[in-house]
Amino acid sequence: MVQRALICLGLAAALAACSPRDLCIANARAELRTLDRLIAETRATVDRGYAIEERTVPEEVFTRCRDADGDLRPCWVTVPRTERRPVTVDIAAERRKLAQLEDRRAQEAAAAAARIRACAARYPEG
């Protein structure tokens, strides 16, 4: 049921096919999904011992472009490229952050469960 809600939420073109109950449940779990993502990222940083920084940089690429007449010609274009590089972090601070996120997730799980029950009561059709 929850998986169906997530699929519906993720596919903008199919939103019309999702039931109000599915959308309600997906919205009820939104904060939980965010916390799960942050916990996974922080746990990976602690396990690795360093963080991964991502940044987008422009890169010049030689390719073919169409001119005003529609003919192909060689040209340079700028495209975005994502660079990833390791950065040092305070592992003790990351562990504290992880513990706080896990505590917050436990609180949010209870609140999300109550919101999901409210969705089921408000939209009894499955």
Domain ranges for the chain, please list them.
1-50+90-126, 51-87
Looking at residue 125, its pLDDT comes to 78
pLDDT digits (tens, 9 = 90+) for 38-82: 999 999 999 999 999 999 999 999 999 999 999 999 999 999 999
CA dist., res. 77 & res. 58, Å (int): 10
User: What pLDDT shows up at residue 13?
Assistant: 46
Q: b/e for 3-38, b at 16 or more Cβ within 10 A?
A: eebeebbeeeeeeeebeebbbbbbebbebbeebeee
Give the model's confidence band at 1: pLDDT under 50 very low, under 70 low, under 90 confident, else very high: very low
Per the model's pLDDT, the better-predicted residue between 35 and 5 turns out to be 35
pTM recorded for the entire structure: 0.67
Q: Which two tokens stand for residue 123?
A: 């939209």
Average pLDDT for 114-118: 93
Cβ neighbours for 38, distance < 8 A, ≥ 6 positions apart: 101
CB 55 within 8 A of CB 83: yes
